[in-house]
Amino acid sequence: MILITEFMEEEAVERLKAARPTAYAPDLADRQEDIPARMAGIQALIVRNRTQVTEALLASAPDLKMVGGLGAGLDNIDLDACAAAGVEVIPATEATTLPVAEYVVANALILLRQAYQSGHAMKAGNWPQAACSGREVSGRRLGLIGFGAIAQEAARLATALGMKVSAYDPHVPVDDPAWEGATARHFEAILASSDVISLHVPLNGATRHMMNAEAFAMMREGAVVINAARGGVVDEAALADAMRAGHIGGAALDVFEEEPLTEEGAGVFKGLSNLILTPHIAGITRDSHTRASTMIADLVLERLS
């Protein structure tokens, strides 16, 4: 039997149902405590980013053979616990590479130009032409913290727009062909030299709040920050302080320390301009949703055959 706890394309769900007993309950991610009681007899669990696949959950799933991940990352899945339990983890990361890279480059354009959030002022009868002059991306430097598949795709798109690209990732070998599209630099050098900083790292003990007050102080005045990686990598309060001080020129955040972002949580950003907040959707487009759903459905049925 297959259990799906987050949204999946209808066609892929119907294909799974036609082949195997399948329960589609996309609201279960909001009721984590109800999932263990549903795990008896479940051989394949399909999740996105919110369902927490923990050691405790795995203990309630004696028949589980695999976990299919529809999202861009696997931070919500305890990979070590899955390995210990003999549960295969099947990610659909390739399906979301392009939309996240597009999100990064699109927001670099928006934040540097500082023109596309003027609608409210213009509807009020104002003409903020001087405030909207902004900067071009061509000739500016994009600094990538982490240089995996998504960052490499962002580098390709940014280079096509005339940007210079630097990246920091000690896990990518120096002879990797990916470096042909970017200059390898240390973390501090990336901060000091970039007009746009984009984060592409998982959340762990080493990366939590790696973008903190000290890091923001190292950045160029007026530089902008984009985080479509994981909430917690950026110290949100420190970012807000750096923006209010005028040192950081803008930010686009798709992920947050606490999700969903509440009105109280968003209060730290109150009054800030040149700020874009989106609800963890960088990797979610109609196109990527179809790709990921199709990919995971294919792989799950293949493994269960």
Would you please indicate which residues are annotated as catalytic (active-site) residues?
Answer: 230, 259, 280
Q: Among residues 101, 104, 100, which one has the least CA distance to residue 224?
A: 104
CA distance linking residue 159 with residue 266, whole number of Å: 33
Report the 3 state secondary structure along 210-238: CECHHHHHHCCCCCEEEECCCCCCECHHH
Q: CA distances (Å), 2 to each of 49, 96, 124, 196, 271, in order?
A: 18, 23, 53, 43, 46
Q: What are phi and psi of 75, to 5 degrees?
A: -65, -25
Helices (H), 138-285: 149-160, 187-193, 213-218, 236-244, 263-266
In eight-state DSSP terms, residue 248 is S
- Residues paired with residue 91 on neighbouring β-strands, in sequence order: 69
Alpha carbons within 13 angstroms on the beta-carbon side of residue 18 total 8
